[in-house]
A and B are shown apart, each in its own frame.
Chain A
């Protein structure tokens, strides 16, 4: 239980810090780089290394490569939905999560954790 409380606060702090850096940067396309910062990864990999060792963290980061490619596809999909389909931000970002799941699990199935 304590581990999950630590995870919650550590994740919240790191994610908020990156989000605030993104808030103060201009232009918006540059600030967007911080929307794809590995903030959850920092917190999770730190705990993974401490709790399970380097090998476990290596496996997680190997699979993270598939997730990162899926994130690129996800972000481009959100961008297209906002500009071409004229969707508003909330539905565009939520619907595109389906794309992230399909691409991430598809790449993991094809290439394994060492994408």
Chain B
């Protein structure tokens, strides 16, 4: 199984404007969710809590960084860029089940205890996401 590790080198590859774009998109998505909730109610607004708002920017950055890395090595890198972005998308699909667990647990607990709802929902997200990832890794090995 591929071990999980931390690599700070990718932070050095990023330009400041790329982080600014993600900050702005994240902020805009949160404002948009608030505006939709005010206009159309919490049910419609709640859908947008799971909007892949910054996914477009993140996937594009991953692809760009991979292409740049391959070009430095004298390779075209376009296909590798697509594959890197696809791997990130595959991970996001597994993480979405964690987000589902977050929403379910938060919805079940929030009216009893607000702080417990945030803690339990965050744990549910972490546990379900990681379990889904490990299950996928085991499946790929078989």
Contacts and interface: CB of A to CB of B under 8 A. Distances in A.
A8 B136 contact: no
Contacts of B7: 24-26
Given A59-B46, A89-B81, 20 more contacts: A11-B30, A27-B87, A33-B92, A33-B129, A36-B52, A38-B102, A40-B53, A45-B49, A59-B41, A60-B43, A60-B45, A67-B103, A75-B92, A76-B90, A78-B55, A78-B59, A89-B62, A93-B60, A94-B56, A105-B47
Contacts, number: 326
How big is the A interface, by class? 35 or more
Interface of A: 3-4, 7-16, 19-20, 22-49, 52, 54-72, 74-76, 78-79, 82-83, 86-90, 92-94, 97, 100, 104-105, 108, 112-114
Nearest to B9: A24
B5 interface: yes
B111 A61 contact: no
A76 to B, nearest CB: 5
Q: Among B34, B62, B88, B125, find the residue whose CB has the most chain A CB atoms closer than 10 A.
A: B88
A83 B59 CA distance: 13
How big is the B interface, by class? 35 or more
At the interface, is chain A mostly helix, strand, loop or mixed? helix
B136 A72 contact: no
A89 B23 CA distance: 19
Interface in B62-105: 62-63, 78-79, 81-100, 102-104
